[in-house]
Amino acid sequence: MTISFRSPLGFVLLLLAVLAFGYLLLPILVVVAAPLGDTGYLAFPPRGLTFKWYAAALHDTRYLSALAVSLRIALTSALIACTIGVAAAYGLTRFSFPGRRLLEAIFLSPLILPTLVLAVGLTLFFTRTGLLVGSWKLVAAHVIVCTPYVLRVSLPVLRRFDRSLEEAARNLGASPVMAFFLVVLPVVRPGIVAGTVLAFITSFDEVVLALFLAEPGAPTLPVMIYSAVQLGFEPSVAAVSGLLVLATLGLMILYHLLGTFGGRRN
């Protein structure tokens, strides 16, 4: 360390960092812990200990079907975003042509667009044109917000890729398509997987577009939680949110472990 923790400056820095982590984790801890209380209303710290709210959440068909809707939409959006995003990223890094930077900027621009603005525009658009039905409206919207994440992760990976490997494959007689799938893709796969996971999470957590565009009878999980929280503080909503947090934590640890093992293998 440049700065010792024992010096006054180091101590202040450390104190602020500890505060920051406490601040980051506090509301998440609340959501996980509050439904453990058996007071019948949400309180933190919880009083008493019961698992009945968590058990009830696991059997609540409304939330389970919302979860199914969310998973389906997130999976569809992430796969579409991955396909069109990786194709575009490969084109952007492989070929040089006038307007390439502009095209890249346009493809990335939904990142800076407020999702609410996108939601208003798309709702009006779908109402007027009658294009797309059912959950496809939301999928289209999520593809727009997810594709930039795929691009942002896969562009640097593809730029770093050693082009001579691809040329070697071509010299040995591989077609451009074969060279891409047999040589380029295996090398850049971790980046593409990371981008797709990011796209999946973005779609799964997204609430604004879903509020505007989800089918009235089939809300996504964030919309269900949003509406339930607005109506009142049932412990069951907190239990659903808590389960979501725990599942996210579990998946993150799993992904990290897989990544670590993958890294060692290489």
Partner 1 sequence: MTKPETKGGGARWALFAPALLFAPCAFVYAVFFIWPQASLLAISATDAAGLTLAHYQRFAGDSYYWEILGRTLGLGAAVTAITLVLGVPTAYLLARVQSRWAGFLLLLTTFPLLVSAVVRSFGWMVLFFRDGLLSHGLMALGFADKPVQTMYTMAGVIIALAQVLLPLMILTLHGVFKSIDRDLEYAAMSLGARPIVALGLVTLRLASGGIVAGSLLVFSLAISAFATPSLVGGARANVMATAIYEQAIELLDWPFAAALATILLVTVLALSLAYGALLEGRGEREAAR
Measured from the CB of residue 55, what is the shortest distance to partner 1 in angstroms? 20
Residue 123, both tokens: 């709702």
* Contact track, partner 1, 6-45, x by CB under 8 A: -x-xx-xxx-xx-xxx-xxxxxxxxx--x-------xxxx
Exposure of 36 by Cβ count < 10 A (0-12 exposed, 13-18 middle, 19+ buried)? buried
Tell me, what amino acid is at 9?
L
Least distance from C-beta 59 to partner 1, angstroms?
A: 20
**Using the rule CB under 8 A, is 56 a contact of partner 1?**
no
Nearer to partner 1, 99 or 186 (CB): 99
x-or-dash string of contact with partner 1, 90-109, rule CB under 8 A: xx--xxxx--x--x--xx--
Looking at beta carbons only, is 72 or 94 nearer to partner 1?
94
Q: Write down the least CB distance from residue 228 to partner 1, Å.
A: 9
Longest dimension (CA), the chain: 72
261 binds partner 1 (CB under 8 A): no
The nearest distance, CB 186 to partner 1, in angstroms, is 19
Q: What is the helix (H) or strand (E) element at residue 104, kind and residue range?
A: helix 100-108
Under rule CB under 8 A, residue 1 binds partner 1: yes
Q: Quick one: which of 36, 73, 85, 183 contacts partner 1 (CB under 8 A)?
A: 85
DSSP assignment of 130-171: --S-TTHHHHHHHHHHHHHHHHHHHHHHHHHS-HHHHHHHHH
Q: Which of residues 198-257 bind partner 1 (CB under 8 A)?
A: 201, 204-205, 207-208, 211-212, 222, 225-226, 229-230, 233, 237-238, 241, 244-245, 248-249, 252, 256
Contact status: 83 vs partner 1 (CB under 8 A): yes
Task: Count CB neighbours of 216 within 10 A.
Answer: 5
The DSSP annotation for 36-75 comes to G--SSS--SS--S---HHHHHHHH-HHHHHHHHHHHHHHH
- In the numeric block, the tokens 């569809």 are attached to 76
Stretch that binds partner 1, among 47-55, 56-64, 78-86, 186-194 (CB under 8 A): 78-86
138 binds partner 1 (CB under 8 A): no
Residue 146 is a binding residue for partner 1 (CB under 8 A): no
Question: x-or-dash pattern for partner 1, window 166-195, by CB under 8 A?
Answer: -x--x-----x-------------------
Q: How many CB atoms lie within 10 A of CB 68?
A: 13
193 vs 82: CA distance, rounded Å: 9
3-state secondary structure of 209: helix
